[in-house]
Amino acid sequence: QKSWSDDAAVNALWTKLCANKGSDVSTVQQSFVQHVQSTLARTYFNIDNFAGYQAAAHSLITHWDETQQHHTKLDVKRVYYLSLEFLMGRSLGNAVLNMGLQGTFSEALKQLGFSLEDVIDEERDAALGNGGLGRLAACFMDSLATLDYPAWGYGLRYTYGIFQQKILNGYQVEVPDYWLSFGNPWEVERLDVSYSVRFYGQVAKGKDASGKSSYSWHGGEEVEAVAYDVPIPGFGTKSTINIRLWSSKPLRSCYFDLHSFNEGNYQKSVELQQRAEQITSVLYPNDNTMAGKELRLKQQYFFVSATLQDIIRRFKKSKRAWSEFPNQVAIQLNDTHPTLGIPELMRILVDLEGLEWDESWDIVTKVYSFTNHTVLPEAMEKWPVSMISNLLPRHMQIIYDINLFFLQKVEALFPGDRARLARMSIIEESPYQQVRMAFLAVIGSHTVNGVAAIHSNLIKSTIFSDFVEFYGASKFQNKTNGITPRRWLHQANPKLSALISEKLGGQGWLTQLDKLEGLIKFADDENFQKAWMDVKKQNKIRLAELIRDTCKVIINPEAMYDVQVKRIHEYKRQFMNILSVVHRYLDLKRMSPAEIKETVPRVVIFGGKAAPGYYIAKMVIKLINSVAEVVFIPDYNISNAEVIIPASDISEHISTAGTEASGTSNMKFVLNGGLIIGTMDGANIEIAEEIGQDKMFIFGCLAEQVDDARHNQKYRKTSMNPDLEGVLDALKAGRFGDFENFAPLVDTLTIGGDYYLISHDFASCTYAAYRDKKQWARNSIISAAKMGKFSSDRSIRELDLPSHDPDARQSRPAVWPLPVD
């Protein structure tokens, strides 16, 4: 590889200076102090924990290696993970663990008067995501780095992440998450990597030199996309990959409208700048519903335009022919949000690079694959044709052409089947013309995957059934989700991690999670059971402290902790959970003291955000907060999840069958030794398969029964579950405050037709098993031991992305700075 200098002496000096400085305590301290002095311009007289955090982060960055140069040298095919969301949480603790520096770091800081834990606590969560989909992207990046994949994540650098949730008088109040207010030591601003992105304007049709029609898109407005790189260190490897996040800025040439300024109109002079910066200003806070706002469409195009320009610039440096593009580039679309990348790549190839349509289409479909995360109709992305035509006029023409050529093939296979053409068209005609993004993603990709077995089967039999008939079933695959055991066990539950490593004689299980099976032989060992449950107890105390500090409620760590933490959505049925709490409460009220003594004390804990415009979900929060003796932890996020999940005895994954595509917290809870209560939905089914149905509290309607149950409810007189009726009577009698607060919510069960089958599934388990502590411990150990399948390392390997160089783990030179690609 050619280095930037041809002078051997210069190179030798650089190599010497950049050589891995070692990672002993004094080197870490030197680097830390240097950052205090020169990066932060402070002295040890005025340094607090926050400055300690910043200096620690900066000194870790100097330990990060040059992975990109290595991949460039190897000339490997790259995989690009395109996601509008990355829910990373904090980075310091994770970086220290992944780089194997935790002993060194805590000792180095301790000697300097800091505690690593306190310093870690200073970091704000990077919360650039809504829920499961965004967190999956974060887990995948950890696995890609750990497995030495030549991978890049691409996303948006929102100025405001997911809102912070406050609870006032029982109601959710949203507060903006201005997470960058004190800077972000983990990002590297790359002012040298920027692209311009166009919106609106016109398309001119002309002829090229050979007389062929050509199209050019011009006019409208342009903004600049500037890159910010966030390094992701793998666990136990020198591989450090990047997430490149784009931030929108005004084009350098029109930072400011001098004309207006000179006329004394200062406000107008900065308008352009504000308009440009608005694009990456805020993350849309909807989970599983689509927000049809033009600004969201702008975000999507801004994202794919900048990303493709960057990918293509990297490709062009290798001076290869376009036909080789699919050998160098694989792009995974995280849901339909980056689907405009398909017509955008067509536009680049056909309009700008002068390739033929068919050749371009061949390249496009070899490059893209698409992951679907939902079958909920309200979450399926559709954009009005009128909106796309206005914002992206050339893309709308290209989408029409893609559709036409596709439907011609359908016609050839199913002559005269007009209903089929209408069903499969990318354009939905009624009530007005809209682009069905999922169909565009399917047609433009070589493979499509669902995120758990049941979900992958459902998409084949429902939303994509016509496409299965057309393409054949092999295009539609299953890649069951996974989670990274590094963050969700090793980091979140250090005591359990240490116990497991001690028992298994090493940390090999952290990268080969199947090795956890080695714990099974200790499941009946009383000492091990005790040690295992002791860790749980300590984690419960840690959570009790968090609840004391945030909710001013004291809970008893001897009680069973029953947890439901996730976004609030009707299909996830937090409503059913709180109704069954009320049911048990009413039961207790009827019991004699002797009977009460026989029951298991239980602390019910909820957490989760409702989309700000989701009226019914917000009412569920109010109801939960109106039922006394239930804890609602405000502002559920990655960092408090790391405390909540390891402390759970039992957790609720109780969606109406067929609605939760996978769920990933179910995996986190079981891996941490919690048992789960769940419906036969999403990945719960595969968890039951792995750990055994007897180790899970399973209830409720099966997916294949849902249609009949809904039908019967609607057209036959089915009476409401009597226990549920008792609960509703208590609500109506005002036992939990003014019934008016909840009337529309209760209506969803009656006049709303109980679409999510709460009455049908209304279940009340008592978990007497918790009394039998030995049995509980045994089930907990065996369940955790059988979670090997649910590592995101397995998901990544199954995704069949371009793979890595087996020597990468040893041979990489250790050089900073990061990508000089």
List residues binding ligand F58 (CB under 6 A): 130-133, 136, 286-288, 290, 373-374, 379, 451, 481, 660-664, 682
| Residue 573 known to be catalytic | no
Considering the complex, state which of residue 52 and residue 682 has its C-beta at the smaller distance from ligand F58.
682
Shortest gap between Cβ of 137 and ligand F58 (angstroms)? 9
Residue 10 token pair: 């210069």
| 3-state SS track over 510-574 | HCCHHHHHHHHHHCCCHHHHHHHHHHHHHHHHHHHHHHHHHHCCCCCCCCEEEEEECCCCHHHCH
Q: Tell me which residue of 398, 427, 423 sits closest to 410, measured CA to CA.
A: 423
Total Cβ atoms within 10 A of residue 299: 24
- Nearer CB in complex with ligand F58: 131/819: 131
Both tokens of residue 331?
A: 């792009």
| Nearer to ligand F58 (CB atom), residue 136 or residue 346 | 136
CA-CA distances (angstroms) from residue 173 to 199, 215, 564, 623, 680? 34, 49, 20, 15, 33
Catalytic residue of the set 78, 572, 653, 695: 572
Catalytic pick among 249, 347, 486, 668: 668
Cβ 455 to ligand F58, closest distance in Å? 7
584 is known as an active-site residue: no
Q: Quote the Cα angle for 56-60-25, to 5°.
A: 75
- For residue 84, the minimal CB distance to ligand F58 (Å) is 7
Annotated catalytic residue, options 298, 566, 602, 618? 566
Give SS3 for 240: strand
Using left for φ > 0, alpha for ψ between -120 and 50, and beta otherwise, residue 447 falls in beta
Find the shortest distance in angstroms from Cβ 85 to ligand F58.
6
For 311: left if phi > 0, alpha if psi spans -120 to 50, otherwise beta; the answer is alpha
Question: Pick the catalytic residue: 67, 307, 664, 679?
Answer: 664
- CB 337 → ligand F58: shortest distance, Å? 6
- Nearest distance in Å: CB 222, ligand F58: 26
Shortest distance in whole angstroms from residue 453 CB to ligand F58: 13
Interhelix angle 49-61/102-111, nearest 10 degrees:
140
Give the Cα separation of 325 and 353 in Å (integer).
13
Is 242 within 8 Å of 78 (Cβ atoms)? no
Q: Which residue sits closest to ligand F58, CB atoms considered?
A: 132
Residue among 222, 51, 790 at smallest CA distance from 485: 790
> Closest CB to ligand F58 among 248 and 481?
481
Q: What are 127's two structure tokens?
A: 């919360």
User: Other CB atoms closer than 10 Å to residue 203's CB: what's the count?
Assistant: 16
The answer to whether the beta carbons of residues 800 and 145 sit under 8 Å apart is: no
Cβ contact 194:244 at 8 Å = no
Q: How far does Cα 605 stand from its chain's mean position? A: 23
567, 573, 622, 812: the catalytic one is 567
Least distance (Å) between residue 454 CB and ligand F58: 11
In the bound state with ligand F58, the residue whose beta carbon lies nearer, of 290 and 424, is: 290
Task: Quote the least distance from Cβ 553 to ligand F58, whole Å.
Answer: 29
Q: 604, 608, 613, 691: which is closest to 651 by C-alpha?
A: 604
Up-side HSE of residue 190: CA atoms within 13 Å toward CB? 24
Residue 469 main-chain phi, psi, to 5 deg: -65, -35
Q: What tokens does 726 get? A: 């008792």
Compute the least distance from the CB of residue 458 to ligand F58, in Å.
12
In this complex, which beta carbon is closest to ligand F58, that of residue 86 or of residue 522?
86
Nearest residue (CB) to ligand F58, 539 versus 662: 662
**Six-digit token string for 36:** 């205090």
- Identify which of residues 376 and 769 has a Cβ nearer to ligand F58 in the complex: 376
Q: Which is nearer to ligand F58, 31 or 336 (CB)?
A: 336
SS (H, E, C) 703-725: HHHHHHHHHHHHHCCCCCCHHHH
Can you give the length of the chain in residues? 821
Active site residue 567: yes
Check 58, 337, 373, 609 and give the catalytic one. 373
Q: Active-site residue 572, yes or no?
A: yes
Q: Which one, of 755, 772, 776, 763, lies nearest residue 711 by Cα?
A: 755
Inter-residue contact 471 to 441 (CB < 8 Å): no
Q: Which is nearer to ligand F58, 360 or 665 (CB)?
A: 665
Task: Give the active site residues.
Answer: 373, 566-567, 572, 664, 668
